[in-house]
Structure 1
Amino acid sequence: MKKSLGFLLLPSLLFGCSDKDFSTSSPALAQEIESNYLDGYGANPQVPDDRTLLTVGQSIKDAKGEATLQKINLKEQTVKVGDIKLTVKDTKLIHLFPDYSLTDYFHSLTHDEEFDYVKLFVEIKNSSTQKVNFAPIAMIETNTGQKITWDQDIYLENLNEEIEGSASKKGNLGFIVDTKTNLEWIEITTSDVFDGNEAKVANAKKFRIYF
């Protein structure tokens, strides 16, 4: 994915956002969650497939490394940003020990051999008939004060790009986080929504997800 998205203007995000809270403090039980939202999703080439990680402490290991689930929130959350409907299907805190072959890939983001990251599976739907530009996560802030911008995403699944009219897309976004202090919540700021002429048609939104 190209990392030069001109429509992601952080100053407008920081001063033009809604503070409506779509948070939850009681994650749903894994067995109560339907997983059909994962249908058609292909495994990421850089990060282990976490679909079977549903119990804290559970680990998986494949050619991309070993991942251990630290925290999970399976409470679906939805926010509307203009004609965009953004739904967070699941949120996980995962400890990753990447395979040696991926050292160079993660080197630009961290020098640690193993690290924790927050992963969100999202679905984006454009209810208008016009193509728009939208990023589901322009910035993440944690309860520890860490701020992480969209360009530090480790999945790179082309979710921060234009979306055609009456179209939808889904996939993962992930960000390396500092967990020296207990991670209790993350606050997500979306991008604004821009039309095909790069004119802003909807302001960004903020919402929190609790672990």
Structure 2
Amino acid sequence: MKKLITMIALLSIVLLGCSSAPEQPADVSAEAPAENEAMKNYAPNPQVPDDRPLEKAGQSHTDEKGEITLKKVKNVNGTYNIGPIEMKIAEAKVMHLKPDYSLVDYFHTLTHDEEFDFVKVFVEIKNTSDEEVNFAPAAILETSEGEQITWENDIYLDGLNEEIQPNETKAGNIGFIIEKSDLNNIEITTSDVFNTEGKKIEDAKNIKIDF
């Protein structure tokens, strides 16, 4: 935890100087759904309904965690290298969620609305080095409507912002509540990559995803 706090403390300083142009996906498929083994094997989140059955705008899914409706989807299938981190983005979705009554208190820490829109991105990150590093796949998310949300407001809490061991792979969702869902694009700024002593070993990267 101390390592993560060190990373976060440095993050705000580093991002101020991060001026690299947004990177476009290496491989984009606008038609077929993303075929990703990590997504298939993903354990459903305890707070958010499973959106994997939703492939087309307008489709909905209901389970014990609430009702979720797909508004926009982009099958990205992009791979990005941030120093020793190999980060894959399978897809990005804009969805509407009506949480089950039992989960209202959980979401009230982030919004007072009883239902809301949010952006979700499925990512897989791998530490290709032989040393432990600290990395967050989405330190800041900014929408084409001008909303900017930081990693602290992630609704999934899939453990992607923690230390990552040598040659370890993690996969899961990151999601952020938004006020305006009619988006043209989102831009993700990753964190920098830090070693166990809190020393930066790679600059953050900007990744733009068009819907």
Please give the TM-score of this superposition, normalised by the length of structure 1. 0.92
Partners of 1:50 and 1:146 in 2: CA distance: 23
2: distance between equivalents of 1:5 and 1:186?
A: 26
**Partner amino acid for 1:160?**
N
> Which stretches of structure 1, 4 residues or more, deviate above 2 A after TM superposition?
none
Say yes or no: does 1:52 pair with 2:56.
no
Does the 8 A contact of 1:192 with 1:203 survive in 2? yes
Name structure 1 gaps, 5 residues minimum: none
Per-residue deviation, 1:18: 2.3
What amino acid sits opposite 1:88 in the alignment? I
Assess if the C-alpha contact under 8 Å between 1:30 and 1:54 holds in 2: no
* Aligned equivalents of 1:110, 1:6: Cα separation in 2: 28
Q: Is the 8 A contact 1:22 1:79 kept in 2?
A: no
The answer for the alignment partner of 2:193 in structure 1 is: 193
TM alignment of 1:106-145, pairs within 5 A: 106-145=107-146
Structure 1 residue 39, shift from structure 2 partner: 3.5
Aligned residues: 207
What letter corresponds to residue 29 of structure 1 in structure 2? E
Aligned to 1:12: 14
Inter-CA distance 17–167: structure 2 relative to 1 (3 Å threshold):
farther
* Letter aligned with residue 74 of structure 1: N
Q: Structure 1 pair 159/102, CA: closer, same or farther in 2 (3 Å)? A: same
CA deviations on 1:114-136 (whole Å, 9 max, x unpaired) are 11000111000111000000000
Q: Deviations over 1:185-204 (max 9, x none)?
A: 11100000000111110010
Deviations 1:65-112 (A, max 9, x none): 000000000121221111101111111001000011111000011111
Matching residue of 1:176: 177
C-alpha deviation, 1:37, in angstroms = 2.9
Q: Is contact 1:92-1:120 (8 Å) kept? A: yes
In 1, are the aligned partners of 2:25 and 2:76 still within 8 Å (CA)?
no
State the distance in 2 between where 1:204 and 1:120 align.
18
Bigger mean CA deviation after superposition, 78-87 or 66-75: 78-87
Moved more, 145-154 or 7-16: 7-16
Q: C-alpha root-mean-square deviation of aligned residues, in Å?
A: 1.9
Q: Secondary structure at the match of 1:86?
A: strand
TM-score by length of 2: 0.92
Structure 2 spans left out of the alignment, 5+ residues: none
Per-residue CA deviations over 1:143-184 (Å, capped at 9, x if unaligned) read 11111000000000110011001111100110001116x211
SS at match of 1:76: strand
Shift of residue 38, structure 1, vs aligned partner: 1.7
CA contact (8 A) 1:96 1:116 kept: yes
Structure 2 CA distance for aligned equivalents of residues 134 and 21 of structure 1: 18
